[in-house]
Amino acid sequence: MTDVEQTTAPPTPQESELGELAQRVAAAARAGEEIEVYVGRSVEVDVRAYDGQVESLSSASSAGVGIRVVVGGRQGFAYAGSLDGDVIEQTLADARDNVSFATPDEHIALVHPDGVAPVALDLWDDTVLTTPSATKVDIALDLERRVRGADPRVRQVASADYGDVASEAAIATSTGVLASARRTVCSLSVVAIAGEGADSQTGVGFSAARGPDGLDHDKAAADSVERATRMIGATKARSGRCAVVLDPRVTSTLLAIVSSALSGEAVTKGRSFFAGRVGEEVAVPAVLLVDDPTDSRAFGASPHDAEGLACRRNVLVDQGVLQGFVYDSTSARRAGTTSTASAVRGGYASTPVAGCRALHLAPGQFGAEQILADLDGALYVQSVTGVHSGVNPISGDFSVGAEGLIIRGGVLAEPVREVTIASTLQRMLRSILHIGADVEWLPGVAAGQTLAIDDMALSGA
Amino acid sequence: MTNTDGSFLVERPVAERVLTAALARGGEFAELFAEDRHSVSAVLDDGRVEELSSGRDRGAGIRVVVGDTTGFAHTSDLSAKGLLAAAEAAAGVARSGGGSVVVGLHATSVANPSVVAVDPDHVPKARKVELLERADEAAHAAGAAITQVTAGYGDGRRRIQVANSDGVLVADDQVRTRFSVSCVATGDAGMQTGYESTAFTMGFELFDTVDVEEIARTAARRALVKLDARPAPSGELPVVLASGSGGILFHEACGHGLEADHIAKDASVYVGQVGEQVASPLVTLVDDGTIGPEWGSFAVDDEGHAGQRNVLIENGVLTDYMWDFLRARKEKRPSSGNGRRQSYRHLPMVRMTNTFLLNGIESPDNVIAQTPSGVYVAKLGGGQVNTTTGDFVFGTVEAYLIENGRITEPLRDANLIGNGPEILRRIDAVADDFAMGPGTCGKDGQSVPVGCGQPTLRLTGVTIGGTAA
């Protein structure tokens, strides 16, 4: 069946060992100096199947360290992709050397433990490490086969991937913080190409879970096939204004953009359209928007933030009224408040910034079908493109490429492609018609659900 | 820079042992890619130099190819022991038993198209920080409405080595330097943003010719101009792209679709089109990894193949796709020097280098003057494409209305959307004012530096995704 044998077993992570390492390095702090040490380590496997064969099988382990040194409100940072003793020593020396070039800022200091106990979260599934590579290979091959055989209109499976990662990280500071956590994530992702005649369309399906057993193979395969086949024959729609219904994945993307305007850092630096609007109605009254990394269903769930404080539930918008922002320690001091334990970082190579991890909208009453039933002539948006080039979370301008289906008589009708939908984020939040009951926890910083928004500009032919 | 046998990250005898071990289980091809990079970056934000950051990373990725299957593993341990362990993991895709090939390597050297005059490592950090402060001052001086300025400096040195079972042993030493400024302007109608950057495959001598204050003023102007901007139109209109600003158009409209991996999977609208007229006769499109200090240049690609100049479309006729080692091997043809990867942790794939449209003959002023109404895009932002359908978007960061052949009112940011093969046919004027700019290209989760360029050109119709009727 496959040519692949099991590769060498990855080492089992020992998170306490990382914490000790971080603590040992942070203990080198001299008088008047604060040191934060972040160490991370991960093992991952990626399999790509194509045309009944394994196209690639990658297995890898990575580790690295990021060190912040703060002296008198000046911060220096250095990182390295290794946990070797001499490399860490050199990294600490680099970080120290970098301190003197920063401008002193009274708001910059490392956090001290604030007494909040972390919520116990189980984000780890051992089977990610114990499942043989051969089984992972079979999962990818099976996914490819399913999609290829699902519908005669499926011409190609551009990629069918299985991937998993088991990671652990620890933070220690000379100010007394010590935190560590580990997590696993595995995922399926498949791109189907379906067509008739000269017309080819694509559909992406995926599933993510903490371990291989949690993956929904049927859904990943069916989603990719349905999304590709229903777009066959798509044409450019006429320009005009209409309501749009966002697929849960698109809603998740939208919330992630909104989250950058809710960052305390963006707000304190005058880079958010929400700045100065706490207490005002910024969305329709049905909106309850919460960032809750203590909810273990969220892929971004975490016991502590990237500065080592225990994560907590933060209500950002309630009944449409802006309640506040997410802060790391620096942006909180700048705003004259306390950290909401919302520091995030991209890994050992970057410094902490304020951000959301597990944003979600409180579900409404209706599922997707009932929401559609209410709409005629609206555009159901299956996917969007150009989010990084067409959405500006500072000005709020929103313009993205879209593909999807027109809703006629309450059901999905003809497919539409090569159009854009545009508005401003401010206006979109106040034009929400329905929030779906169908919350879907997706990888990334925000959950998704069906979301209907009124009166957007559709640009097409 | 050139390399002699003595300067390899992994010495030849070790590399030979590792490759021999990688093939011991019957692989057909094995490759060792070693990389050592370090970087310095500094950010000034909100009037303060927030931090100076230094990074170091080194390691090696090893791949073994058996039939259509690639096994890959990487390690940050460049010792013989670490490399042999990675080789064994990568070889796991091969049937056991296999061959007893002994790999012998022959070092070659390829000159880097860019000569570094001032190694950024030898420049005091204080001088790098000073550039940020000058830019901050210049941006604020551009107008009282400038309320926020972020300036970023970065330099990096990337030494790579490729050794493979075909006997290739080659290295490259790539130094890149960049500088960028983003501004926020605040007016009665809210905030607007402006951005400008410069980036080259060269050292600190970049700042002998590039004025950081000018970069700052350009970023500030883009933000200020939009304070009075009206919403962009919604619908199809003629569009004039200013020179240098719109290379991203070709990167998205056809560049990605000409990558041989998409072609092999029938995931491109350009499958089977070689020799066909795919664009207006005014279009001659080149991808060239060898042009001096441009952002996407190198001596050898990340598979050890020398960078080269490839004409992709000539007078509108598709001449060739872009190739990496694996796709070329399958088609029994040479690579085109387009095999690139983000780092030693990644498998290489077909990627663009510097992709650009050659000059036409018109004057840019005439192109605008002969456009009765439409949109003038002075600067494009990023873009994205679905190579299978050919549909692509690209965003504007500075755009104006054209009315009666004249550039008039500024427009707020919007995405433009089009279909690659259709748009290429709609190019009806190409000027003679070629210019290039830097970009970062993302594909399959990997980012690499690329260059994009074009002269001023006109598209007879593109859908503009604004909100104005």
Domain that holds residue B276: 234-465
Interface confidence, given as ipTM, is 0.92
Q: What is the pLDDT of residue A302?
A: 96
Spatial distance between the Cα atoms of B221 and B196, rounded to a whole number of angstroms: 10
Give the residue on B whose Cα is nearest the Cα of A455: B467
Question: Per-domain residue ranges for chain A?
Answer: 15-227, 234-461
> Average pLDDT of chain A?
94
Distance from the Cα of B236 to chain A's closest Cα (Å) equals: 6
Q: A243-262 pLDDT, tens per residue?
A: 999 999 999 999 999 999 99
pLDDT band at B96 (very low <50, low <70, confident <90, very high): low
Give the residue on B whose Cα is nearest the Cα of A44: B73
Look up the CATH number of the domain holding residue B130. 3.30.2290.10
> Average pLDDT of chain B?
94
- In this predicted structure, the answer to whether residue B316 has a pLDDT above a threshold of 50 is yes
How far from each other are the two terminal CA atoms of chain B, in whole angstroms? Answer: 55
Spatial distance between the Cα atoms of B332 and B308, rounded to a whole number of angstroms: 18
Do the Cβ atoms of A101 and B49 come within 8 Å? yes
Contact status, residue A448 vs residue A248, Cβ threshold 8 Å:
yes
- In this predicted structure, the answer to whether residue A345 has a pLDDT above a threshold of 50 is yes
Do the Cβ atoms of A156 and B266 come within 8 Å? yes
Q: A23-73 pLDDT, tens per residue?
A: 999 999 999 999 999 999 999 999 999 999 999 999 888 999 999 999 999
Distances (CA, A) of A162 to A305, B63, B379: 28, 19, 39
pTM here is: 0.94
Can you identify the CATH homologous superfamily of domain A15-227?
Answer: PmbA/TldD superfamily (3.30.2290.10)
Q: What is the pLDDT of residue A4?
A: 35
Number of folded domains that form chain B? 3
Q: What is the pLDDT of residue B4?
A: 45
Distance from the Cα of B286 to chain A's closest Cα (Å) equals: 25
Do the Cβ atoms of A385 and B388 come within 8 Å? no
Q: A50-63 pLDDT, tens per residue?
A: 999 999 999 888 99
Name which of A63, A79, A102 is nearest B52 (Cβ-Cβ): A102
Q: What is the pLDDT of residue B6?
A: 52
- In this predicted structure, the answer to whether residue A447 has a pLDDT above a threshold of 50 is yes
Q: What is the pLDDT of residue A2?
A: 33
In this structure, the answer to whether residues B219 and B271 fall within a common structural domain is no
In this structure, the answer to whether residues B302 and B353 fall within a common structural domain is yes
Q: What is the pLDDT of residue B98?
A: 59
Distance from the Cα of A67 to chain B's closest Cα (Å) equals: 10
pLDDT band at A15 (very low <50, low <70, confident <90, very high): low
Do the Cβ atoms of B234 and A156 come within 8 Å? no
Mean per-residue pLDDT for B13-39?
A: 95
Would you say residue B166 lies in a domain? no
Distance from the Cα of A45 to chain B's closest Cα (Å) equals: 9
Q: B333-386 pLDDT, tens per residue?
A: 999 999 999 999 999 999 999 999 999 999 999 999 999 999 999 999 889 999
- Best residue in A388, A397, A400 for a mutation probing chain B (most B CBs within 10 Å): A397
CB-CB neighbors (< 8 A) of A60 in chain B: 72-74, 345
Q: A397-423 pLDDT, tens per residue?
A: 999 999 999 999 999 999 999 999 999
Q: What is the pLDDT of residue B2?
A: 41
Contacts of A47 (CB under 8 A, 6+ apart): A54, A56, A57, A58, A133, A136, A137, A139, A140, A161, A162, A163
Q: Which residues pair with A183 in a beta bridge?
A: A167
Name which of B55, B75, B126 is nearest A79 (Cβ-Cβ): B55
In this structure, the answer to whether residues B355 and B254 fall within a common structural domain is yes
Would you say residue B165 lies in a domain? no
Do the Cβ atoms of B68 and A53 come within 8 Å? yes
- Best residue in B54, B58, B329 for a mutation probing chain A (most A CBs within 10 Å): B54
Mean per-residue pLDDT for A432-436?
A: 98
Give the residue on B whose Cα is nearest the Cα of A105: B48
In this structure, the answer to whether residues B197 and B239 fall within a common structural domain is no
Would you say residue B254 lies in a domain? yes
Residue with tokens 């279909």: B419
| HSE value, Cβ hemisphere, 13 Å, CA-based, for B391 | 25
Q: What is the pLDDT of residue A7?
A: 35
Distance from the Cα of A272 to chain B's closest Cα (Å) equals: 9
In this structure, the answer to whether residues B333 and B218 fall within a common structural domain is no
Do the Cβ atoms of A460 and B463 come within 8 Å? yes
Do the Cβ atoms of A399 and B395 come within 8 Å? yes
CB-CB neighbors (< 8 A) of B186 in chain A: 270
In this structure, the answer to whether residues B334 and B432 fall within a common structural domain is yes
In this structure, the answer to whether residues B332 and B453 fall within a common structural domain is yes
CB-CB neighbors (< 8 A) of B46 in chain A: 269
Distances (CA, A) of A209 to A47, A438, B107, B163: 16, 18, 47, 38
Q: What is the pLDDT of residue A198?
A: 87
CA A144 from centroid of its chain's CA atoms: 25
Q: Where are the beta strands (DSSP E) in B106-145?
A: 106-107
Helix (H) or strand (E) holding A36: strand A33-50
CB-CB neighbors (< 8 A) of B50 in chain A: 75, 102-103, 105
Do the Cβ atoms of B89 and A91 come within 8 Å? no
Q: A119-149 pLDDT, tens per residue?
A: 999 999 999 999 999 999 999 999 999 999 9
Q: B130-152 pLDDT, tens per residue?
A: 999 999 999 999 999 999 999 99
How many A/B residue pairs have CB atoms within 8 Å?
A: 282
pLDDT band at B189 (very low <50, low <70, confident <90, very high): confident
Would you say residue B201 lies in a domain? yes
Spatial distance between the Cα atoms of A200 and A191, rounded to a whole number of angstroms: 12
In this structure, the answer to whether residues B194 and B275 fall within a common structural domain is no
Contacts of A407 (CB under 8 A, 6+ apart): A245, A372, A375, A376, A377, A378, A379, A380, A413
Do the Cβ atoms of B267 and A394 come within 8 Å? no
Q: What is the pLDDT of residue B7?
A: 76
CB-CB neighbors (< 8 A) of B419 in chain A: 418
Give the residue on A whose Cα is nearest the Cα of B127: A101
Contact status, residue A342 vs residue A354, Cβ threshold 8 Å:
yes
Q: A214-228 pLDDT, tens per residue?
A: 999 999 999 999 999
- In this predicted structure, the answer to whether residue A110 has a pLDDT above a threshold of 50 is yes
Would you say residue B77 lies in a domain? yes
CB-CB neighbors (< 8 A) of B415 in chain A: 386, 389-390, 399-401, 420, 422
Spatial distance between the Cα atoms of B423 and B441, rounded to a whole number of angstroms: 21
In this structure, the answer to whether residues B209 and B345 fall within a common structural domain is no
Do the Cβ atoms of B193 and A395 come within 8 Å? yes
What phi-psi label fits residue A386: left (phi over 0), alpha (psi between -120 and 50 degrees) or beta? left
